[in-house]
């Protein structure tokens, strides 16, 4: 019979407890690093936004670059926004028509589509599309400039990169997104008219008279106001991710990807806040 050592179970228990405590300590440190990184990102973002505000009201505003960015953001996004808006109108009409037929309220279809497009679907879907196109473009462009040290070269040559690269893009996105939303809403109305005529026959004049008879001016105000915030969020997030990209080439892709994800999430959050405020005011 082997000799039994009474201290062996105690030693095993202490070893097991030590390993578990080490694992818990490592998990605690990882969570602490994640929390500190998140708080650091929030602080850097707040400082970045403050710098944008300071440079926006500077006397040396880059007006030509601002117009160029408006063209890049607005004009080159029109085909995608137009296609999306028209498809939204067709799909919303086709999906809603059978339900209204069951209740004998087909005549309410144009007004319902118009209200839905103007208040919610048009601004949100357009902002998400622009977050994918414009946000990723800003993140990739500024990220590549950061990696290739073009931003550092601008600082050395006494050119303010914040004013030239960031402010112009943020203001252009803030201005052009509402215009793209209005354009998408318009194409959505035409798409809805086509959707109605797939299984029926409604004249162009009758459809739009029914649609606009249910719309009031107060319906446009919340949608337009929150569209400005959507544009600002997309511009700020895209520029922030690209401007603060790492030095490696893979950081360009990470900047573009994170810009799309974060800006899309913030668009949904801003929309939720805007809906709550609108509901309290109306």
| 120 neighbors 219 (Cβ within 8 angstroms) | no
One domain, residues 88 and 25: no
Instruction: Answer with the one of 37, 57, 77 that is the final residue of a domain.
Output: 57
One domain, residues 70 and 200: yes
130: tokens are: 């622009």
Domain count, the chain: 2
Q: What is the pTM of this model?
A: 0.83
One domain, residues 135 and 34: no
The pLDDT assigned to 18 comes to 63
Residue with tokens 């944008």: 52
One domain, residues 188 and 68: yes
Q: How far apart are CA 190 and CA 106, in angstroms?
A: 17
Q: How far apart are CA 189 and CA 66, in angstroms?
A: 31
Domain of residue 28, residue span = 1-57
Q: How far apart are CA 267 and CA 228, in angstroms?
A: 11
One domain, residues 40 and 93: no
One domain, residues 129 and 5: no
One domain, residues 144 and 263: yes
One domain, residues 174 and 250: yes
Q: How far is CA 190 from the centre of its chain?
A: 26
The pLDDT assigned to 38 comes to 67
One domain, residues 165 and 233: yes
One domain, residues 84 and 53: no
Instruction: Answer with the one of 12, 29, 57 that is the final residue of a domain.
Output: 57
pLDDT tens string for the chain (282 positions)? 455 455 555 455 556 556 555 655 666 656 656 666 667 777 888 888 888 888 888 778 888 989 999 998 888 889 999 999 999 999 999 988 888 888 777 788 888 888 989 988 999 999 999 998 999 989 999 988 888 888 888 878 877 888 888 999 999 999 999 999 999 999 999 999 998 888 778 888 888 888 888 888 888 888 999 999 999 999 999 999 988 887 777 888 888 899 999 999 999 999 999 989 888 876
Instruction: Answer with the one of 10, 26, 57 that is the final residue of a domain.
Output: 57
The pLDDT assigned to 216 comes to 84
């Amino acid at each position: 019979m082997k000799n039994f050592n009474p201290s062996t179970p105690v030693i095993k228990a202490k070893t097991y407890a030590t390993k578990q405590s080490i694992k818990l300590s490592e998990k605690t440190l990882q969570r602490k690093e994640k929390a500190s990184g998140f708080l650091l990102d929030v602080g850097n973002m707040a400082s970045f936004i403050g710098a944008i505000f300071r440079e926006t009201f500077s006397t040396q505003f880059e007006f030509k670059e601002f117009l160029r960015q408006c063209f890049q953001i607005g004009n080159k996004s029109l085909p995608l926004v137009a296609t999306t808006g028209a498809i939204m109108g067709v799909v919303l009409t086709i999906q809603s028509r059978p339900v209204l037929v069951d209740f004998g309220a087909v005549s309410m279809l144009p007004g319902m589509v118009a209200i839905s497009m103007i208040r919610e679907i048009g601004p949100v879907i357009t902002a998400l599309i622009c977050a994918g196109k414009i946000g990723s473009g800003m993140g990739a462009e500024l990220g590549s400039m950061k990696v290739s040290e073009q931003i550092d070269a601008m600082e050395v040559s006494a050119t303010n990169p914040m004013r030239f690269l960031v402010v112009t893009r943020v203001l252009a996105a803030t201005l052009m997104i509402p215009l793209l939303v209005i354009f998408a809403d318009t194409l959505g109305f035409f798409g809805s008219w086509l959707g109605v005529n797939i299984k029926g026959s409604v004249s162009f004049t009758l459809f739009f008279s029914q649609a606009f008879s249910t719309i009031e001016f107060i319906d446009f105000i919340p949608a337009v106001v929150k569209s400005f915030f959507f544009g600002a969020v997309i511009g700020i997030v895209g520029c922030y991710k690209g401007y603060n990209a790492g030095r490696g080439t893979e950081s360009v892709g990470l900047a573009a990807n994170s810009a799309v994800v974060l800006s899309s999430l913030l668009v949904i959050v801003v929309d939720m806040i805007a809906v709550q405020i609108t509901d309290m005011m109306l």
